């Protein structure tokens, strides 16, 4: 008896559900969670919520052994902490005055949420919120985001490889801002984050990329200790948190000196942009299914919906990947706002008919869930649960 393909399983499981429909294969999700923990080499792994955006699946990762959450906004962090999630590190700076006021006036949030800063200007709204709160509560915890890009050369010949993420780079930069944090009544510096995006966020597409990754790992490993020492000298106490890494760099980040934890999220879903990584075997778990509504010509099919491009530089890499074997997006139209045309590849697969379901994968991870109010959790060829996304819980954080 022929074994069903993945897309056949998904179609059977969701045959009673109209498309477009979002699904997560729990067997793959759970296996990915186990693999991410293994790759971290014993370091605690914080789950990046922006790469999931489904509260029950964030909880599933925590139940599997992840430790804490990295949120993508302060408002989101406050919401998660209010639902019982513990140790939420905000991954990006915030000037949301309303959220800062709520943080300043909430003892539980002040214990469980850690703010991210990289500029003294970001301390101004925090100071005002703390002054307005006027209560004796636990200190607001703060983490400094430090530039972990690779710079080669000197002077005008210097090349910057990586994102322009943070203005903090030298030990003096970090020590100065650390002292300013500690000077804010009611604030305390908890840690440092160095996210080497040029290692964690780039697929292993060629030898040049792999060389940049090796050089970057050596560079950030060499700088991390100096940054930590300068910071601790400036504030007069030890830092409990030194965060690093992402799905693409768990092995090297977890092994880095002074690192106390790493972060991962995309590796739970394994979206299309992660197909080129060599550090792990891709095991996609998140998909969306579209219904074929038109067959305009032999070798063609048109599905309803599907125009879900990913953020980042515009181009084909940001379009969804067709998971149904033998079919592809067309070069002229890509993924459509209402209709997505598909062209049959010369691979001998059967034609798609009106009413068939075609499966796709988003180029990135959690962004898919912003398009759906619920996600169907599949095990084998059955839907075992239907859970709300952030959108389904009427939450939008940017």
Q: What's the CA gap between 147 and 156, in Å, rounded? A: 19
54 in Cβ contact with 80 (< 8 Å): no
Q: Compute the half-sphere exposure of residue 222: CA atoms within 13 Å on the CB side of its CA.
A: 8
Please state the φ and ψ torsions of residue 269, each to the nearest 5 degrees: -100, -30
234 in Cβ contact with 228 (< 8 Å): no
User: Mean pLDDT, the chain, as a whole number?
Assistant: 92
CATH assignment of the domain containing 58:
3.20.20.10
Please state the φ and ψ torsions of residue 386, each to the nearest 5 degrees: -125, 120
Asked whether the predicted pLDDT for residue 216 surpasses 90, the reply is: no
Instruction: Say whether both 165 and 69 belong to one domain.
Output: yes
Structural domain that includes position 203: 26-271
Instruction: Say whether both 175 and 224 belong to one domain.
Output: yes
Q: What is the pLDDT of residues 67-117, one digit of tens each?
A: 999 999 999 999 999 999 999 999 999 999 999 999 999 999 999 999 999
Q: What is the pLDDT of residues 335-355, one digit of tens each?
A: 999 999 999 998 767 899 999
Tokens, residue 357 = 């379901």
Instruction: Say whether both 166 and 246 belong to one domain.
Output: yes
Number of domains in the chain: 2
Q: What pLDDT is recorded for position 279? A: 75
Instruction: Say whether both 31 and 12 belong to one domain.
Output: no
Residue 199: pLDDT band with limits 50, 70, 90:
low
Asked whether the predicted pLDDT for residue 1 surpasses 80, the reply is: no
Q: What pLDDT is recorded for position 248? A: 84
């Amino acid at each position: 008896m022929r074994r069903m393909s993945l897309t056949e399983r998904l179609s059977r499981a969701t045959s009673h559900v109209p498309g477009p429909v979002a699904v997560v294969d729990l067997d793959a999700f759970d296996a990915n969670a186990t693999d991410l923990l293994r790759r971290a080499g014993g370091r605690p792994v914080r789950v990046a919520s922006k790469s999931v955006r489904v509260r029950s699946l964030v909880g599933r990762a925590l139940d599997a052994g992840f430790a804490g959450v990295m949120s993508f906004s302060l408002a989101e962090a406050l919401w998660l902490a209010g639902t019982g999630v513990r140790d939420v590190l905000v991954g990006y700076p915030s000037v949301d005055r309303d959220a800062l006021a709520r943080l300043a006036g909430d003892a539980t949030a002040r214990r469980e949420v850690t703010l991210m800063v990289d500029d003294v200007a970001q301390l101004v709204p925090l100071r005002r919120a703390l002054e307005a709160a006027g209560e004796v509560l636990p200190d607001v915890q703060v983490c400094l985001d430090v530039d972990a890009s690779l710079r080669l050369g000197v002077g005008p010949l210097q090349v910057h490889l990586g994102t322009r993420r943070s203005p903090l780079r030298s030990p003096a930069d970090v020590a100065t801002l650390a002292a300013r944090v500690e000077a804010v009544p009611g604030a305390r510096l908890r840690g440092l984050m160095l996210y080497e995006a040029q290692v964690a966020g780039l697929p292993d597409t060629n030898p040049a990329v792999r060389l940049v990754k090796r050089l970057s790992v050596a560079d950030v490993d060499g700088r991390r200790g100096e940054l930590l020492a300068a910071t601790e000298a400036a504030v007069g106490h030890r830092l409990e948190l030194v965060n690093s890494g992402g799905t693409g760099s768990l092995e090297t980040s977890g092994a880095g000196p002074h690192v106390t934890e790493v972060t991962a999220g995309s590796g739970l879903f394994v979206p299309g942009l992660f197909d080129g990584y060599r550090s792990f075997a891709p095991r996609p778990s998140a998909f969306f299914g579209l219904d074929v509504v038109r067959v305009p010509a032999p070798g063609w099919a048109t599905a309803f919906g599907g125009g879900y491009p990913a953020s980042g530089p515009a181009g084909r890499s940001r379009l969804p990947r067709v998971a149904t074997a033998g079919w592809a997006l067309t070069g002229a139209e890509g993924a459509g706002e209402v209709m997505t045309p598909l062209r049959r590849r010369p691979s001998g697969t059967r034609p798609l008919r009106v009413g068939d379901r075609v499966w796709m994968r988003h180029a990135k991870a959690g962004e898919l869930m912003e398009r759906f109010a619920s996600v169907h959790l599949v095990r084998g060829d059955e839907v075992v649960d239907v859970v709300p996304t952030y959108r389904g819980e009427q939450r939008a954080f940017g």
